[in-house]
Amino acid sequence: MSKNSAKEQILASALEAQRKNYDAVSRLTDSVVLTEYRKLTIEGIHGTIWTKALQTALDEHEIVIIPASQHIYWLDGTIIVPSNRRIEASGATIRLVPEFPYIMMCNKHIHDGTRAPIDTSDRDMNISIHGGNWEESCTVRGKRRLNAEHGKNFKGVQTCMLFNNLDHLTITDVTFAHATSFCVQIGDLTDGVFENFNFISCYADGLHVNGNCENLYVKNFRGHVGDDLVALNMYDWIGSSINYGPANNIYCENIISAPDSKAKMMRLQPGIFKFENGTLIDCSLTNVYVKHARGIFEYKLYFQSPRYRLGEKPEGEGAGSADNIFFEDIEIIAQRPWYPDESDEKRGHFGMFFSNSNVGYLSLKNIQYTTTPSISSKTHLIAIGPMSCHRDDKEVFDPYVSATLDILELEDIFVNGKRATEITDLIKIIEFDNVNEDGFSSGKGKVNHIILDGKTIL
């Protein structure tokens, strides 16, 4: 299969997921208006509490319509959504009471996949949310966990909404506001459609994707988040993952970060993970197509463990694999994050596209890169290799990791409006030689082949 065919197949798979999901949604007919359950509400210090009313309506009907209202629908508990349910909430604001520390919503049969692959025999299906402002009452980043009342105490859950062990999830035309952690966290999901998301003053990731996901259609994401607008974390830290494993066929289009977002990033993170029984799994990332993105200055395609002290074993088992990763129609204005320190001769290099995973094929097409003389000469459009940064006496990244990018294809690359005709000023290959002087920090990046506008450069 040609690389163009592979790109087209990614979009075709995502559109087929959209078609199947919308077809499943349309087959639901048994509907009720939430206000018919008003007798189950109670009055709280913030207003009317609708938790029991909404839960009962979802238990008894396929479609629950939350009417548009100037009043807030307050929730003081986690809503559990069964299979074959559709929530319609256009014009409604649903908000968690400030004192409730747990997640707002999840599907019925969630499972923790951090210790071993999950049992999917009770898999849920066909859940959708259309419209609505889904809000928390937070002003800083924190962690929303699962309530032990539901028999769950997963370490890796920190989100407003959680969905896993599920086929056919559809969320469209929604706004998330003041979410302290991830807005939506998913894992072990087949056929996911996420369209028209707006984020207002949210403090972590918008959509946080964990392992074992396939056929995702992500389109029209914009707004203010505190971390990645979209995070494709097949591998992730124990504290922020619920499923470990591969992902395949993910299409993302029109991803726009707000100018005042704290972090303007998109993470793509494969990696190697070890289950409790010692089994290693490559949490790989295959067939990803990101088209038309604005306001994001770093695309992170590297393994990263939690911070660790020198001499300690980092969490995770190192770089994972990726293949057929396409970026197209991307505008990037060069910026420097706090890492790594540009004055550090050994560690100071940084890339807008930063890869230190074992990647088969990576394509960058129609990239508009804007930089200025004030930007460090150690800032590059593309960096390949490990990173290192010390903070609070800990290593932030993983300078011991070596990885290879087999084929890097560049097409229509423009720097300050001028087409790039050579790669010298575009790409930095990073190599460390015991950079931390600990015998565990000699990672090296490598690229085997580079193609620029159809011509083989390397």
* Range scoring the smallest mean pLDDT among 89-93, 98-102, 150-154: 150-154
Query: What was the pLDDT predicted at 1?
Result: 60
d(CA 383, CA 367): 15
d(CA 411, CA 180): 39
Once rounded to an integer, what is the mean pLDDT over residues 6-35?
97
What pLDDT band is residue 335 in, cutting at 50, 70 and 90?
confident
Buried b (16+ CB within 10 A) or exposed e, 299-330: bbbbbbbebeeeeeebbbbbbbbbbbbbbbbb
Query: What was the pLDDT predicted at 425?
Result: 86
Query: What was the pLDDT predicted at 237?
Result: 94
* Range scoring the smallest mean pLDDT among 35-39, 135-139, 428-432: 135-139
Judge whether residue 149 has pLDDT over 90: no
Once rounded to an integer, what is the mean pLDDT over residues 416-445?
95
- Classify residue 119 by its DSSP letter: P
d(CA 49, CA 42): 5
Averaged pLDDT of the chain: 95
Judge whether residue 74 has pLDDT over 70: yes
Distances (CA, A) of 136 to 55, 56, 100: 18, 22, 10
pLDDT tens digit sequence for 274-293:
999 999 999 999 999 999 99
Once rounded to an integer, what is the mean pLDDT over residues 25-30?
98
Query: What was the pLDDT predicted at 228?
Result: 94
CB 438 within 8 A of CB 394: no
| Ramachandran category for residue 178: left, alpha or beta (phi over 0 → left; psi -120 to 50 → alpha) | left
Question: Which helix (H) or strand (E) covers residue 398, if one does?
Answer: none
pLDDT tens digit sequence for 382-429:
999 999 998 888 999 999 999 999 999 999 999 999 999 999 889 999
Query: What was the pLDDT predicted at 346?
Result: 86
Query: What was the pLDDT predicted at 302?
Result: 96
Once rounded to an integer, what is the mean pLDDT over residues 194-212?
97
DSSP string for 163-221: EEEEEEEEEEEEEEES-SSEEEEEEEEEEEEEEEEEEES--S-SEEE-SSEEEEEEEEE
Residues linked to residue 288 through DSSP beta bridges, in sequence order: 250, 325
Query: What was the pLDDT predicted at 371?
Result: 94
d(CA 450, CA 218): 29
Reduce the DSSP state of residue 321 to 3 states and report it: strand
Structure pTM?
A: 0.96
d(CA 44, CA 41): 9
CB 159 within 8 A of CB 182: yes
What pLDDT band is residue 147 in, cutting at 50, 70 and 90?
confident
Query: What was the pLDDT predicted at 340?
Result: 83
CB 28 within 8 A of CB 62: yes
Query: What was the pLDDT predicted at 151?
Result: 66
d(CA 284, CA 267): 14
